[in-house]
């Protein structure tokens, strides 16, 4: 059996006393935990005068489920261990590694609560003479802590202590021992931004005419690559430590810069009216179910699957430009040049995704995600040239525009806040 030596106890005690928020030099909570340890020690001396150097095992305090999830009982026991070590030779405190080993052999956890009967059983296996057990309850904004020293051999209660402390102050001073975000039933909100990689297919050269007007599309061969910028907000819920559910509302937008466009009207080039005008816009919602891998230090990994539901631009008009003098680029009226996108309703798209999240702080994480869509969905566009100043119009021509494909691959960054 391994115990802290006198020198190690004193060194560790001094270290603990020097840590901010966890010592007699700390705040209110450190003072009250010290008072608990002092009360128990004085009670022990009263029942066992002159007895020193007794082996003592400190077990995690029992707590209601909500406090247990955040390891409040474990935090109290750890802070008490530090105080008993700092007090000197009255007790030899059982090493936490030894205590953890024996607890695991009996399917118990170091951070889980242990009742008096279990403490006696485990204490005998450890060779300890005495044990500290207790409970913590919530009353308003206070934590009420009941603790006692019991004799392992007889189960007799040797000393007791009762203390109240402010719960918010405890959260601050005991932060290093607590789980501020529960492993299950956790909720996260996040903002996201990224890029989706799409493609479109250009049309072959084509022309159309109306009385007094001839329009020509300068087709370009083969598919072209492009990208859509995306951004949005989301909600994440973890019903268990290994499962998360994600829901995200997204907005998309990006140019179709190389699509075959109307090149001339009545033989006059209108390239200056094409550049940067062809755009695709949509919004959508993504939902996914994700398996959460075992954390590696502060990094968590995810793999999952889900679906996206997308709504193409509600106006159906991607852009519109009023054309005038084509040679000078001056808009003087005469006709309107539109790129139209037909209403196609919802587009449903299944996907698989992987991701990793770095927990910078207890509640805040930065994530990188990748999605691969399993279906190829597209939208056919058209060009429309019309004379808006006459009824009926003198000119009214429609030509086929490029075929736009929804992104097949997307990468996103997220910034998440958990509760």
Query: What pLDDT was estimated at residue 265?
Result: 64
Using the Cα atoms of residue 199, residue 200, residue 204 and residue 207 in order, give the sign of their dihedral. negative
Of 117-131, 199-213, 256-270, which gets the smallest average pLDDT? 256-270
Is the pLDDT confidence value at 322 over 60?
no
Report the C-alpha gap between 12 and 81 in whole angstroms.
11
Q: Taking a C-beta distance cutoff of 8 angstroms, is the pair 404, 378 a contact? A: yes
Query: What pLDDT was estimated at residue 321?
Result: 46
Helix (H) or strand (E) holding 363: none
Query: What pLDDT was estimated at residue 203?
Result: 62
Query: What pLDDT was estimated at residue 216?
Result: 67
Of 29-38, 151-160, 254-263, 324-333, which gets the smallest average pLDDT? 324-333
Report the C-alpha gap between 340 and 380 in whole angstroms.
9
Q: Give the residue, 163 or 396, on which the prediction is more confident.
A: 163
Compute the half-sphere exposure of residue 77: CA atoms within 13 Å on the CB side of its CA: 30
Task: Single out the residue of 214, 197, 242 nearest to residue 373, CA to CA.
Answer: 197
Express as a percent the part of the chain with pLDDT over 70.
69
Query: What pLDDT was estimated at residue 20?
Result: 39
Query: What pLDDT was estimated at residue 388?
Result: 64
Q: Give the residue, 333 or 406, on which the prediction is more confident.
A: 406
276: left (phi over 0), alpha (psi -120 to 50) or beta: left
Is the pLDDT confidence value at 181 over 60?
yes
Q: Give the residue, 200 or 376, on which the prediction is more confident.
A: 376
The per-residue pLDDT for range 184-203, each reduced to its tens digit, is 788 999 999 999 887 766 66
Query: What pLDDT was estimated at residue 37?
Result: 94
Q: Taking a C-beta distance cutoff of 8 angstroms, is the pair 287, 346 a contact? A: no
Q: Report residue 303's pLDDT band, with 50, 70 and 90 as the boundaries.
A: very high
Query: What pLDDT was estimated at residue 190?
Result: 97
Express as a percent the part of the chain with pLDDT over 90.
37
Q: Taking a C-beta distance cutoff of 8 angstroms, is the pair 150, 115 a contact? A: no
Is the pLDDT confidence value at 403 over 80?
no
Query: What pLDDT was estimated at residue 272?
Result: 43
Report the C-alpha gap between 303 and 411 in whole angstroms.
14
CB neighbourhood size of 393 (10 A):
15
Report the C-alpha gap between 89 and 69 in whole angstroms.
34
Q: Report residue 55's pLDDT band, with 50, 70 and 90 as the boundaries.
A: very high
What does the mean pLDDT of the chain come to? 77
Q: What is the rounded average pLDDT of the residues 165-187?
A: 82
Domains, the chain, in order of start with CATH, read 6-177 (3.40.50.10610), 186-418 (2.40.160.20)
Q: Report residue 378's pLDDT band, with 50, 70 and 90 as the boundaries.
A: confident
Of 86-100, 110-124, 125-139, 235-249, which gets the smallest average pLDDT? 110-124
Q: Give the residue, 177 or 135, on which the prediction is more confident.
A: 135
Q: What is the rounded average pLDDT of the residues 103-120?
A: 70
Report the C-alpha gap between 191 and 285 in whole angstroms.
14
Query: What pLDDT was estimated at residue 229?
Result: 86
Q: Which residues of 329-338 are buried (b: 16+ CB within 10 A; e: fewer)?
A: eeeeebbbbb
CB neighbourhood size of 286 (10 A):
24
**Pairing status of strand 142-151 against strand 213-217:** unpaired
Q: What is the rounded average pLDDT of the residues 107-136?
A: 79
Q: What is the Cα gyration radius of the chain?
A: 35
Query: What pLDDT was estimated at residue 118?
Result: 80
Q: Report residue 138's pLDDT band, with 50, 70 and 90 as the boundaries.
A: very high
Which among 51-60, 276-285, 391-400 has the top mean pLDDT?
A: 51-60
């Amino acid at each position: 059996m391994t115990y802290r030596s006198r020198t190690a106890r004193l060194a560790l005690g001094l270290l603990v006393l020097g840590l901010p928020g966890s010592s007699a030099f700390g705040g209110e909570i450190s003072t009250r935990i010290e008072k608990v340890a002092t009360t128990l020690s004085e009670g022990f001396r009263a029942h066992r005068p002159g007895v020193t150097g007794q082996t003592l095992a400190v077990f995690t305090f029992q707590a209601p489920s909500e406090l247990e999830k955040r390891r409040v009982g474990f935090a109290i026991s750890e802070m008490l261990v530090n105080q008993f070590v700092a007090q000197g030779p009255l007790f030899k405190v059982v090493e936490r590694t030894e205590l953890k080993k024996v607890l695991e052999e009996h399917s118990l956890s170091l951070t889980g609560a242990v009742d008096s009967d279990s403490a006696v059983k485990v204490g005998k296996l450890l060779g300890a003479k005495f044990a500290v057990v207790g409970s913590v309850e919530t009353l308003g904004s206070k934590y009420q802590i009941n603790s006692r020293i019991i004799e392992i051999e007889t189960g007799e209660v040797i000393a007791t202590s009762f203390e109240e402390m402010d719960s918010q102050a405890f959260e601050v001073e005991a932060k290093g021992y607590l789980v501020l975000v529960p492993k299950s039933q956790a909720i996260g909100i996040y903002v996201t931004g990224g890029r989706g990689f799409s493609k479109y297919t250009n049309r072959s050269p084509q022309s159309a005419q109306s009385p007094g007007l001839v329009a020509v599309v300068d087709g370009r061969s083969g598919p072209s690559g492009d990208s859509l910028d995306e951004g949005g907000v989301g909600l994440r819920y973890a019903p268990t430590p290994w499962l998360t559910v994600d829901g995200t509302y997204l907005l998309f937008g990006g140019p179709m810069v190389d699509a075959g466009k109307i090149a001339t009207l009545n033989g006059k080039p209108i390239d200056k009216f094409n550049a940067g005008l062809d755009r695709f816009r949509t919004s959508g919602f993504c939902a996914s179910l994700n398996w959460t891998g075992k954390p590696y230090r502060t990094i968590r990994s995810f793999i999952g699957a889900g679906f996206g539901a997308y709504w193409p631009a509600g106006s159906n008009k991607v852009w519109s430009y009023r054309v005038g003098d084509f040679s000078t680029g001056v808009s003087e009226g005469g006709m309107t040049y539109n790129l139209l996108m037909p209403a196609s309703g919802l587009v449903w798209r299944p996907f698989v995704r992987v991701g990793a999240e770095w927990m910078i702080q207890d509640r805040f994480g930065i994530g990188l995600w990748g999605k691969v869509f399993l279906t190829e969905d597209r939208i056919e566009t058209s060009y429309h040239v019309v004379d808006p100043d006459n009824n009926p119009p003198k000119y009214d021509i429609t030509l086929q525009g490029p075929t736009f494909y929804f992104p097949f691959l997307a990468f996103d960054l997220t910034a998440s806040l958990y509760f």
